[in-house]
C-alpha cells in the first residue's frame, strides 16, 4: 500500500483551515508556503502553516479520512489538532524548501 498523508494547513491567526491529502507531505507543504500553483483557497487565505498531519496507508483510506475530517465541525478539528499540537505551532517551521524535494525529514508521528 502507498503511504499517504492527510494534513491540515492554517493561517497565522488560526481562523481558517484547509484539509488535504498527498503522497509527499514536504513537497505539498512547500507548495502551499510558496502561494504559487496552490489551490486558490489556500492562496487567498494564506494557509501556510502545517498544524496537523497523519500518515495513512492506502490512497482510498487517505481520501476517506480527509473527507471525514473536512466534514466535521470546527471545534472537532481544533480538538484533533490540539491532540498532536497543543500550541498549534507550524509543524513544518524547521523544514527547508530544498529538503522538500527529497523527503529528508521524518514526518511520521505516533498518534495520541
User: Which CATH number covers residue 7?
Assistant: 3.40.1440.10
Sign of the CA dihedral running 12, 35, 24, 15: positive
| pLDDT for 107 | 46
Is the pLDDT at 112 greater than 90? The verdict is no
Rounded to 5°, angle at Cα 12 from 98 and 49: 35
Residue 108 covered by a domain: no
Strands (E), the chain: 3-10, 17-22, 49-57
Residue 67 covered by a domain: yes
Closest alpha carbon to 5 in 18, 22, 17: 22
Residue 27 covered by a domain: yes
Residue 68 covered by a domain: yes
| pLDDT for 43 | 84
Residue 107 covered by a domain: no
What does pTM read for this prediction? 0.84
Domain count for the chain: 1
Rounded to 5°, angle at Cα 75 from 73 and 77: 75
Range of the domain at 22: 3-100
Amino acid at each position: 500500500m502507498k503511504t499517504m498523508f492527510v494534513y491540515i494547513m492554517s493561517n497565522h491567526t488560526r481562523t481558517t483551515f484547509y484539509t488535504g491529502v498527498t503522497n509527499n507531505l514536504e513537497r505539498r507543504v512547500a507548495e502551499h508556503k510558496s502561494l504559487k500553483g496552490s489551490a486558490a483557497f489556500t492562496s487567498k487565505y494564506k494557509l501556510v502553516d502545517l498544524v496537523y498531519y497523519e500518515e495513512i496507508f492506502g490512497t482510498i483510506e487517505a481520501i476517506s479520512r480527509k473527507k471525514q475530517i473536512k466534514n466535521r465541525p470546527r471545534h472537532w478539528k481544533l480538538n484533533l489538532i490540539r491532540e498532536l499540537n497543543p500550541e498549534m505551532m507550524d509543524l513544518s517551521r524547521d523544514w527547508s524548501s530544498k529538503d522538500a524535494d527529497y523527503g529528508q525529514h521524518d514526518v511520521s508521528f505516533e498518534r495520541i
